[in-house]
């Protein structure tokens, strides 16, 4: 199984319940097809740099999952059929991205501090 990250932009006219139902449907599709949800993050309503379908805002949702490579083709077809999804992007994650995301989820600092190079005065 490979690791993937899905970013979805939902239409901003969805209510909170509809947004939760749509994200639950995406998670259900992954788990029904023998995938595993690793993490998820709902960013909420964000502004676009340029209009998409004459809308200037959208509801962002990010999910990290593990699944067989063949699942992504079926998953893309499923998301293309959903009218509440404006845009989506599936990204394959390498081992470094997986490690970074796990550190980020655990709350660990992701940037190493710079060592103090000044000499101590006696």
pLDDT in tens, 13-25: 998 999 999 999 9
Name the DSSP class of 121. Answer: P
Tell me what pLDDT residue 105 has: 82
Residue 55: the pLDDT is 92
Distance in angstroms (rounded) separating the CA atoms of residues 32 and 43: 25
Written as tens digits, the pLDDT of the chain (122 aa) is 889 999 999 999 998 999 999 999 999 999 999 889 998 999 989 999 999 889 999 999 999 999 998 899 999 999 999 899 999 999 999 988 888 888 888 877 656 656 655 555 54
Domain boundaries, the chain: 2-93
Note the Cα 14 to chain centre separation in Å: 18
Query: For residues 102 and 104, what is the distance between their CA atoms, to the nearest angstrom?
Result: 5
Whole-model pTM: value is 0.80
Tokens 């998670």 sit at which residue? 27
Domain 2-93 has CATH 3.30.70.60: yes
């Amino acid at each position: 199984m490979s690791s993937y990250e899905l970013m979805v932009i939902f239409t901003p006219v969805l209510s909170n319940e509809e947004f939760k139902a749509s994200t639950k449907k995406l998670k259900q599709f992954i788990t029904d097809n023998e995938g595993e949800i690793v993490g998820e993050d709902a960013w909420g309503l964000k502004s676009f740099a340029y209009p998409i379908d004459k809308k200037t805002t959208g509801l962002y949702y990010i999910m990290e999952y593990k699944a067989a490579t063949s699942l992504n083709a079926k998953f893309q077809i499923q998301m293309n059929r959903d009218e509440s999804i404006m845009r989506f992007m599936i990204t394959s994650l390498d081992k470094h991205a997986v490690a970074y995301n796990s550190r980020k989820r655990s709350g660990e600092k992701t940037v190493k501090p710079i060592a103090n190079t000044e000499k101590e005065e006696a």
